[in-house]
Amino acid sequence: MANSASGMAVHDDCKLKFQELKAKRSYRFIVFKIEEGIQQVTVEKLGKPQQSYEDFTASLPANECRYAVFDFDFTTNENVQKSKIFFIAWSPDTSRVRSKMLYASSKDRFRRELDGVQVELQATDPSEMSFDIVQGRAH
């Protein structure tokens, strides 16, 4: 387990599952949760490869913070199939202030553990990570 400057540990499973998403495309998305009692980031949910972006956004709690990665497939203007891995810091306005502070202070360190993320998004509201926004950031 890696420790960060904020004292947050990252469960080995987080990096392992991320590598499986990146190398084998075993998952469409991964949702990570900070277990506040033990100060550790853990894997909360794994999305199957055939799941959609809508399935992913529906899996995020409406009033709790989470980190997530999403493997976004798209077609370029030149008609080439591509994929980009997004890191999303989900911090809804309705979540607890202490939780928002914890996620914000640990985000950069945790994000660096996930080698291969290509785009980063910060969202406090579902509209800030709409499909159109993600699609626009992918190109």
Domain boundary assignment for the chain: 9-138
pLDDT of residue 5: 43
Residue 133 CB contacts under 8 Å (≥ 6 apart), including other chains: 121
Q: Tens digit of pLDDT for each residue in 21-78?
A: 999 999 999 999 999 889 999 999 999 999 999 999 999 999 999 999 999 999 888 9
As a whole number, mean pLDDT of residues 104-113 equals 94
Q: Is it the case that residue 1 has pLDDT exceeding 60?
A: no
| CATH code for the part of the protein at 9-138 | 3.40.20.10
Query: How high does pLDDT run on average in the chain?
Result: 93
- Alpha-carbon gap, residue 22 to 117, rounded angstroms: 9
Match 């400057």 to its residue by tokens.
5
Side-chain-side CA neighbours of 94 within 13 Å: the count stands at 6
pTM beyond 0.85, yes or no: yes
